[in-house]
Structure 1
């Protein structure tokens, strides 16, 4: 089953993008996403900063969501444990939106998402050190999500991102051996 990489936000909070995977190419609403431990920790920390009636805590490797009746009219507890790759599947606890660059002017958020979605670091000299660092964090996050599922393929994003074609370069004559040497 192919996994699709998505940058999502909690509905109504467009400024904190989370990188997750889903078997579906298009997502929204109450879809389920799989996240790394690092992203699950960020989601828990962000959730605990709100007063929505839903909190998150950790018990070892288990992520525990606790909702009061004020959250959706029904108090509940849901425990999420990591799968064999250490990823956390968060199901239908709140609605998701697809992250949009248009709604988030923050350079670091934009660089983070671009890093997750593109296999080559931009060569833009105007890119700040903090943006470059955010790009690299996004890249690592995407690789952590996709590498285990693809079992060692060298280019984890090849099926998700179509890189711009590169012009063909003529082979260098210095890299080829002379015809006399090839005969030996």
Structure 2
């Protein structure tokens, strides 16, 4: 997935609800949560993220046209996954999202993480990004039944 109307990500997330909506919360690994924070903090948005020493994620929303400012605390679950949602609209990653070949390889690896490994069919460095996507999807879903 990605932030709506952006080329961020792709973020490999596990939905927390069987009904997907643009503001639905999803679980993300710390690695993906770090990427989300880096992307948001690198843009001129009204939301920034920081991690505390204990691993808690704080999103600060500046006051503006959408209402007063606030700080949202996101605590990881027992498996270190962060439930993030309701702060902006998510979009499903797809061909309509502007992306690089590397982002596409990473997304493909994540989507195919339970299938035969196709990394050898890709040129370098896309093969490595494909493998990274597979590994991220495995890390995220290894405790999926516990959610």
> Normalized against structure 2, the TM-score is what?
0.88
Gaps of 5+ in 2: none
Question: How far did residue 102 of structure 1 move?
Answer: 4.1
Partner of 2:131: 136
Partner of 2:52: 59
Confirm whether residue 96 of structure 1 aligns to residue 90 of structure 2: yes
Aligned to 1:79, what secondary structure does the other structure show?
strand
Preserved CA contact (<8 Å) 1:116 1:140: yes
Partner of 1:122: 118
CA–CA distance in 2 between the matches of 1:78 and 1:103? Answer: 27
Preserved CA contact (<8 Å) 1:48 1:55: yes
Preserved CA contact (<8 Å) 2:2 2:92: yes
Question: How far did residue 28 of structure 1 move?
Answer: 3.5
Question: How far did residue 52 of structure 1 move?
Answer: 1.4
CA–CA distance in 1 between the matches of 2:73 and 2:119? Answer: 43
Aligned residues: 143
Equivalences for residues 33-182 of structure 1 within 5 A = 33-60=26-53, 61-70=55-64, 72-118=66-112, 119-122=115-118, 125=121, 127-150=122-145
- Aligned partner (choices 5, 16, 20) of residue 13 of structure 2: 20
* C-alpha RMSD of the superposition: 1.9
Give per-residue Cα distances to partners, 1:48-104, cap 9 Å, x unaligned: 011111110110201100011127222000111110110000120100110113433
Which one has the largest radius of gyration? 1
Preserved CA contact (<8 Å) 2:50 2:58: yes
Preserved CA contact (<8 Å) 1:52 1:71: no
Residues 62, 123 of structure 1: CA spacing in aligned structure 2 closer, same or farther, 3 A cutoff?
closer
Gaps of 5+ in 1: 1-7, 152-184
Greater relative CO (CA pairs within 8 A, separation 6+) = 2
> Normalized against structure 1, the TM-score is what?
0.71
